[in-house]
A and B are shown apart, each in its own frame.
Chain A
Amino acid sequence: MSLPGGRAASAPLLGHEIEPTIFELSVHGRSAYQLRTTDVPAIPLSDFIPAEHLAPKRVALAEVSERDLVGHFTRLSHRQFSVDLGAYPLGSCTMKYNPKFCDAVAADPGLNSVHPGVPASLSQGWLELLVTLEHKLCVITGMAAATLQPAAGAAGELTGLLLMRAYHGANGDLRKRILIPDSAHGTNPASVTLGGYEVTTIPSNDRGLVDLAALKAALGPDVAGIMLTNPNTLGLFEEEIVEIAAAVHAVGGLLYYDGANLNAILGVIRPGDMGFDIVHMNLHKTFATPHGGGGPGAGPVAVSPRLVEFLPGPRAACRDDGSYYWETSERSIGRVHGWHGNSMVLARALAYIDVHGGDGLTRVAQHAVLNANWLRERLRETLPAAYDRVCMHECVLTATWLKNAYGVRGLDVAKGLLEEGFHSPTVYFPLIVDEALMFEPTETESVQTLESLAASIERIAVRAKTDTDGLHHAPQTTPVSRVDEARAARQLIATEDAADR
């Protein structure tokens, strides 16, 4: 590789000083706020609110100047790794670059100053945007209609399970079980419980795919459906999906597509064409809306024709005259969000889809898969893949040999990578792979960056032998060194006021 790849230097972040909390910075009497001059008469509240309601004392918040406020949060930001700073190959999370244009679109007051409760006549632009997005998401997934209300993937999962329940219920068909592969994300079984179903776990076969024979053995008239991620969490495409769909449909079950890994298949294959009945999408993954340090996301759910009438309402719809209105079907399961969903996230996703278009979205998937395979092949001698063949958008590698040879575990590799200026991959997931390290480079990282990442991992593998102890104590160059998680759980200090603090 002749050109260097961008990594965030060996000491990746500036903020090495412990930052006081905002309460520790607080000095009585200081303030930053300024409010409008209103000339509203300052009548004492006790004139109109009975004493039993009034606060006996003020809620104590920090008292800081604007300058100190800016210094504090800016210094905190210097203690935070982010996609904008460097590669973030955190598998399953699709930490691709978030185009700034989409943020700028969302900053338009014509969108973000609209109150969610205004009548449709005052929000025609928003309704048109939502109808347009719903249509495009259905084109991308091969489904008939979608709700945009769910605020994240897990909310979408639960919505999808309630749709299954409504569908079966309408047929007078009470079913009990949902099948889930053993490689599934934890949100799947957690959602199943909240959906009022029981989980039946389906083992993976020696190729890392759903064991079709075990699946068929588990099927029966009490199976409401199956939740599948395809490609699955090993980054492998479920090649027998057509057979799986036929088997589940044959017993009257429905197929739920967990869209966590949709980025791998955009424009290549659609969940609807594979036989899925319900699909959730993580717009913060596939459609590049920023992850926000843990959220917000958006988790629209698209369905096949037979489930449309059960979708949450209200949904934006278009009349023949081109005007837009809200509609709720009679058999709708009801609302799943306080208003219309994470609208500003939805707007960003539509902007992303429009900029890419059908052709660009296909390139997204192609390059995401190319990058993951390049990295997998490049690291073949250093960290072998758990399943050695073409992967999709992510590859699950294993550090088993480092553990056996030097006692260096996957977590040590992950922590070592932080010192190298990269974010860690996902560690110890999926649970079925020993010492799993799940890398998802995404399509937005250059080959130079991937080479730099690979070279860092090679250095760590050398350190495993030459500096085993150092790696066990990595990272040291980061804002804090390895964190005592056990102590945090044993002696909970969740606020400034905690008794043990």
Chain B
Amino acid sequence: MLSFLGMNSLDQLFAHIPASVRLAQGLDLEPGMSEPDVAAIFAQYSAANQGQLSTLTCYAGAGAYDHEVPAVVKMLGSRSEFVTAYTPYQPEVAQGVLQAIFEFQTMISRLSGLPIANASLYDGAAALVEAVNMATGATKRQKLIISSGVHPHWRGVVKTFAQGTGHEVVEVALKDGVTDWGSVDTSAAAAVVAAYPNYLGVLEDMSAAKSVATSSGALLVVCGDPLAAGVLRTAGDWGADVFVGEGQPLGTALSFGGPYLGLFACTHEQIRRLPGRIVGETVDSNDRRAFVTTLRAREQDIRREKATSNVCTNQTLMAVTAAIQLGWLGTRGYAEVATRSAQGAHYLHDHLVQISGVTRVSTNPFFREFALRLPRNASGVLEDLVGEGILGGLSVESLAGASDPSLEGDLSDVVLIAVTERRTRRELDQYVDVLGKVLS
């Protein structure tokens, strides 16, 4: 090949790069290793993760849950046609991914109760950032009213990106686990952001959030658990303009936090401000049904500095997987998973609060996750539970820091506990039993 180019060494290909800044010796990395040798190194990383679920029963949540993902979903979702393609720029040879995304959009539209859903964003936090950007674009205002019931990490990400956009972020405290909208000036806001359920698991009255948004002239952005609509009213039912969610519960493994799946749905009114890709149905030149990415004029590769978002690569594989998982669950399975998760959570909750010194942080209803105040430091208690094979939840302090408007007083003794349809009564009883012993 080199002689075809009239060259006799590979170095000649790089001769035009200034020698003063070229590497003289190559990279200071170990030489390449065989796959089995690298596998042995990775086996050590793996073995050092004591939090893996082969040995622990999982009650950790906060947006990432231990749901059933069957072999059929894993196998279909790992087909190399889906895994090793890229963005469907050539629709004639990308109907597989395009149609799967179209089906995904339909499913997300239905479970959000909103007519338009995009083809995915990076994660729930990224979806929220895009939602508030949409709202500031739509209202030409800069103020964001965000309930502190929104996941603390998501609020953190919004604040980070507000450094660039200049948005003013106003966090609203919770009172008894519910947003105290009256505690801040909500006038002239771009977005009112609420969470349903909120990150402490509590079901807030979204009609309150809706009326705050309406009187302010703001868009109502609802952050939601994508399984909630198996039991609860949808974001659209509550009058949301935008729904954003973390799609991990739809077929993605816990994966130490990623890749997950940012869900984004909105009303027709906001379609021209939609971030990221959207797939539409059309026909080919022979008048046969076909799918294609559409409304492309919003996107960064065409609109450049005037684009609605900078997103290019998204999380398509997770979106395809979510479509497969929701296809596997179907209408009944989706409702069943939500129902069983809620039943398990309430069963566990009602027994845990019988333990002396364990109290609720909110008297309001919850879905499948709840926060409890323990008589001593939550991290220490969780460590003791791990010794008994139970990943008993997450310390709220580890999520929200030492103090946060979502909770009054000390956060260090509050634990957040999630239950999925995978938890058996025997496991739940064991949790109650072990926590009682640990606290006694």
Contact = CB atoms under 8 A, between A and B. Distances in A.
A361 B31 CA distance: 9
Given A105-B39, A293-B86, A38 B421 contact: yes
B203 to A, nearest CB: 5
B86 A88 contact: yes
Given A49-B365, A53-B203, A59-B334, A344 B256 contact: yes
B440 interface: no
Nearest to A50: B365
Contacts of A154: 300, 310-313
A241 interface: yes
Interface stretch (A262-270, A301-309, A394-402, A462-470): A262-270
A55 B343 contact: no
Nearest to B125: A338
Contact of A194 (B120, B164, B237): B164
B85 A80 contact: yes
A125 B329 contact: no
Nearest to A140: B27
B335 A480 contact: no
Nearest to A485: B292
A28 to B, nearest CB: 9
Interface in B100-152: 100, 102-103, 105-107, 109-111, 115-117, 119-120, 122-126, 133, 151
Query: How big is the A interface, by class?
Result: 35 or more
Contacts of B285: 473, 481-484
Interface in B29-87: 29-35, 38-39, 41-54, 58, 60, 62-64, 66, 68, 70, 72, 76, 78-87
Q: Which of A70, A81, A282 has most B Cβ within 10 Å?
A: A81
A481 B428 contact: no
Interface string A72-86: 111011111111110
Interface in A445-501: 447, 473, 475, 478-485, 487-489, 492-498, 501
Contact of B328 (A15, A66, A347, A414): A66
A103 B100 CA distance: 22
Contacts of B313: 152-154, 282, 284, 291, 294-297
A160 to B, nearest CB: 11
- Among B256, B284, B290, B386, which residue has the most Cβ atoms of chain A within 10 A? B256
Interface stretch (B89-97, B182-190, B353-361): B89-97
- Chain B CB count within 10 A is highest, among A108, A185, A195, A418, for A108
B75 to A, nearest CB: 8
What are the 7 A-B residue pairs with the smallest beta carbon separation, nearest first? A339-B257, A110-B46, A80-B96, A122-B51, A116-B257, A292-B317, A357-B32
B87 to A, nearest CB: 4
A447 to B, nearest CB: 6
A59 B230 contact: yes
A389 B52 CA distance: 53
Interface in A94-111: 95, 98, 101, 103-105, 108-111
A187 B300 contact: yes
Interface in A184-228: 185-187, 189-196, 199
Nearest to A282: B313
A498 B106 CA distance: 9
A199 B337 CA distance: 49
A478 to B, nearest CB: 4
